[in-house]
Amino acid sequence: MRIYATTQEFLNHPTGLNVDNLVADGTENQQNVELSRLLQMASSIIDQWCYQRLFAHQKTETKHVRPQQYGSLDVRVSDFPLKQLISAQWRQTARDAWHSIDTNVIDVFGELSEGHKYSASDAYYRGTYGWGQPPLTVQTTYVAGYPNMSLTANANAGDSTLTVDTTIGVSEGDVLKLYDGLNYEEVTVQSTTSDSVTVTPLMYAHNTGVRVSELPDAVSTACIIIAAYLVKERRAGASVMMSGNVQKLNVVDSEDMQLTRQFLLPFRRVI
C-alpha cells in the first residue's frame, strides 16, 4: 500500500481546511475520491524527496564489495530499513558461477528500525580471495521499507486475525498501528499469511479501509501536510498563517513544505 494517510486520517487531522468542495458541485463520494488522489500525490512526493519508497517493497540490486580483513562481506543496501534478506549471492568474475550466501547466518545492523546493511561470511571466498584482486560482485534480493497496509474486511473487538491487502515486510514481533480515529490501537504480530496477519486480540472494532501500518507517524503527518498544501495552492496564491503572516504558496518558501522536510530528513536516502 503506497498511500501514507487515508482520507479519514486527513479529515481527523486539525488542518482547518474545508474539503467539501474539491470537486465543484460534486457528491461526498467524489470529494473523498479527489482527496484520496491528493493524498496519493503527497505520498509520491514523499518518496521522490526521500529518494526511496518508504512502504515495504522487494528489491534486487547488484554491487561490488571487497571482503573485510576479518573475512566478512559488509553489504550496504540502497533502500532502508532492511526488513528481510530474501537471498544473496556472490561471484568473483562474470564467468564464475554464483555462490549462495546463507541468509540464516548474517547480521543486520544500522539505524531506523532494522538496519541499512548486512554482514555475511563465506568460507569459500575466504580461502580463495586475495588482496589486490577486483571486488566481488554481490547480488541481493531484500525487502525494505515499513509495512503499510489496509483492512480488506471488517474486524470485531476481540478478533486476532486481520485481513489485509498485503503483508510484505511484516514479521513476527512487529508492532502494528491501526489508524482508526478514537479507536486507534496497537497490536503485536504473531504470524502472517499472504493476505492476513495474526495479532494480539483487538480492543476495538474496525471497518474495511482502516490503515494498518508500521510507518513512523512523522511520515503520515508529512503526507497530510503536503496534501493540505496542495489544496491551499489550488485555491489561492497565498494563505494566512495562525501568526497572521502571509505564507507564499510555493515549494521553496512554503512553511508547510519546510516542516515536512524536517519530518522526512531521517528517511532520506543518501545518493
Residue 39 identity (one-letter amino acid): L
Q: How many CA atoms lie within 13 A of 245 on its CB side?
A: 7
Averaged pLDDT for residues 217-245: 77
Which three cell numbers, joined as nine digits, stand for 113?
528500525
* CB within 8 Å of 227: residues ≥ 6 apart: 5, 10, 35, 38, 39, 41, 42
Separation CA 86–CA 66 (nearest Å): 21
Mean of per-residue pLDDT scores for the chain: 87
Q: What are phi and psi of 94, to 5 degrees?
A: -65, -20
pLDDT tens sequence across 59-109: 999 999 888 777 788 899 999 999 989 999 998 888 889 989 888 777 787
Separation CA 102–CA 99 (nearest Å): 10
Q: What pLDDT, on a 0 to 100 scale, did the predictor assign at position 235?
A: 59
The residue out of 144, 170, 202 marking a domain boundary is: 144
More confident residue, 95 or 163: 163
Report the domain count for the chain.
3
More confident residue, 157 or 65: 157
Same domain, 67 and 23: no
Separation CA 61–CA 76 (nearest Å): 11
Among 12, 2, 15, 1, residue whose Cα is nearest residue 227: 15
Supply the pTM of this predicted model.
0.85
The residue out of 92, 120, 144 marking a domain boundary is: 144
Same domain, 153 and 199: yes
Separation CA 76–CA 85 (nearest Å): 12
Edge-to-edge strands, sheet with 99-100: 57-65, 136-144, 82-91, 99-100
Averaged pLDDT for residues 32-44: 95
Q: How many CA atoms lie within 13 A of 114 on its CB side?
A: 28
Only one residue has cell 478514537, namely 182
Q: Which residues form the domain of 3?
A: 1-55+216-245+252-271
Would you place residue 165 in the very low, low, confident or very high pLDDT band (cuts 50, 70, 90)?
very high
Could you count the other beta carbons within 10 Å of the beta carbon of residue 67? 21
Would you place residue 113 in the very low, low, confident or very high pLDDT band (cuts 50, 70, 90)?
low
Query: Angle at CA 229, nearest 5°, toward 263 and 11?
Result: 85
Same domain, 6 and 22: yes
pLDDT tens sequence across 178-211: 999 999 999 999 999 999 999 999 999 999 999 9
Is 174's pLDDT higher than 80?
Answer: yes
